[in-house]
């Protein structure tokens, strides 16, 4: 006899999954993410490393439909349940953050950008699969007046399908949900069963100092200019360490987060990962040294983090299909360098067991493009409440994937997933991207 909905952990499908910020947040709220769809093979490989029980489909969302998504989820169910009942086919939630550059208030905006249509692709799949609920994340630009026709077209389709929608009236700030970063986003949620309650801010603002607490000082290791990992024992703690920071203790894994219902990961906390240092010219270092915390270095336009405040929005830059532009990275509050991928992960609420591609460019993009897990968790808790679900904690520990997944080139990752050449990001020159 199969499991009833009330006895099993609710299940999710993540579209436009990237490295898995939404996936992690929903897992932390008690959902099992059965399937993730991501068209970039490098990001898909990193997702597979961090979520080895999730079936990753490396495809363009525009090219797939209900049957392929449900079959992928069925395989993901079997990865989560090696033995026992078959999946009943009920999808509790579909989540996703469609590419938002066309709506972005940063840089060039284009209401005719083809990426804006990905919003409608998300809606199409929700209507076809008909999950009990959905969660859509995007930038505040989506709410601008010029996008009203597109919004109304999308939301009308969802309402016609029976979904009660909330969260489309104003953006929320991730900083109000325990993320040490000022990052405003629109989180639209909908349910077939009852209206999803609004997101409720946590009240405590986590500072940069708290987020970097218990993190070894990567600047003390010259080898990190050549590699991305080093044993923690080789490094002293940063001078910003605050061992009583609950946020840092949870991120470092030295204390359990009582609200984290995810399946525990088996990892090596003695290794500092994703911490390759950027090399700066002497004249740049001199300018950085005279830049106070909380201010912008006038030549590079890099913002120096303030230990007592929150980071500005971490940005991803553009992918290879848009010219591979690198977005400005914040300056470390104490050291005269830009932050590492691991430090960016702390500012985004990714725990230290979570890994990114070993190349800094990929790693920073994976973080900048993702939904902060703590913001995703807050949304997931609202959805669980609307569905009458009281999720249980994941008990069985999970081994992370093969580390080679984090070293793959685009071509190697595409080969691994059998990705179709016409669906993966194509290299474009910067002149063409402009």
Catalytically annotated residues: 100
Q: Look at strands 184-191 and 265-266 and give their pairing.
A: unpaired
| Closest among 11, 24, 212, 205 to 94, alpha carbons compared | 11
Taking a C-beta distance cutoff of 8 angstroms, is the pair 356, 48 a contact? no
Tokens representing 291 are: 């830049």
Q: Provide the CA 119 distance to its chain's centre, in angstroms.
A: 18
Contact partners, residue 114, CB within 8 Å, separation at least 6: 102
Q: How far apart are CA 252 and CA 246, in angstroms?
A: 10
- Side-chain half-sphere exposure of 254, counting CA atoms within 13 A: 12
Counting every residue, how long is the chain? 434
Taking a C-beta distance cutoff of 8 angstroms, is the pair 128, 65 a contact? yes
Taking a C-beta distance cutoff of 8 angstroms, is the pair 341, 274 a contact? yes
Task: Report helix angle 66-80 to 118-129, nearest 10.
Answer: 70
């Amino acid at each position: 006899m199969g499991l009833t909905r009330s006895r099993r952990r609710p299940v999710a499908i993540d579209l436009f999954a990237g490295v898995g910020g939404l996936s992690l947040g929903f897992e932390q709220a008690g959902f099992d993410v059965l399937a993730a769809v991501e068209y970039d093979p490098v990001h898909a490989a990193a997702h597979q490393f961090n979520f080895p029980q999730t079936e990753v489909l490396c495809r363009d969302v525009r090219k797939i439909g209900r049957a392929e998504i449900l079959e992928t989820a069925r395989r993901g169910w079997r990865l989560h349940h090696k033995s026992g009942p078959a999946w009943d086919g009920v999808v509790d939630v579909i989540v996703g953050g469609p590419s938002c550059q066309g709506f972005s208030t940063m840089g060039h905006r284009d209401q005719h950008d083809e990426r804006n249509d990905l919003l409608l692709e998300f809606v199409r799949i929700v209507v076809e699969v008909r999950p009990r609920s959905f969660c859509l994340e995007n930038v505040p630009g989506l709410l601008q007046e010029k996008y009203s026709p597109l919004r109304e077209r999308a939301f009308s389709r969802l309402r016609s399908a029976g979904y009660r929608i909330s969260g489309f009236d104003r953006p929320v700030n991730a900083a109000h949900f325990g993320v040490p970063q000022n990052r405003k986003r629109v989180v639209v949620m909908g349910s077939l069963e009852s209206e999803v309650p609004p997101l409720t801010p946590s009240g405590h603002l986590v500072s940069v100092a708290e987020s970097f607490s218990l993190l070894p000082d990567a600047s003390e290791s010259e080898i990190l200019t050549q590699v991305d990992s080093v044993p923690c024992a080789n490094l002293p703690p940063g001078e910003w360490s605050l061992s009583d920071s609950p946020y840092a203790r949870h991120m470092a894994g030295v204390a359990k987060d009582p609200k984290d219902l995810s399946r525990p990961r088996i990892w090596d906390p003695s290794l500092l990962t994703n911490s390759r240092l950027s090399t700066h010219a002497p004249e740049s270092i001199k300018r950085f040294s005279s830049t106070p915390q909380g201010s912008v270095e006038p030549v590079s336009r890099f913002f120096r983090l303030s230990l007592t405040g929150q980071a500005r929005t971490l940005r991803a830059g553009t992918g290879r299909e848009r010219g591979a532009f690198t977005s400005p990275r914040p300056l470390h509050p104490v050291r005269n360098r830009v932050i590492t991928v691991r430090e960016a992960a702390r500012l985004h609420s990714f725990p230290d067991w979570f890994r990114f591609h070993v190349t800094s460019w990929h790693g920073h993009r994976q973080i900048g493009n993702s939904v902060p897990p703590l913001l995703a968790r807050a949304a997931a808790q609202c959805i669980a409440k609307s569905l009458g679900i009281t999720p249980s904690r994941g008990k069985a520990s999970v081994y992370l994937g093969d580390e080679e997944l984090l070293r793959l080139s685009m071509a190697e990752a595409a080969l691994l997933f059998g990705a179709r050449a016409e669906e993966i990001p194509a290299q474009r020159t910067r002149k063409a991207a402009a």
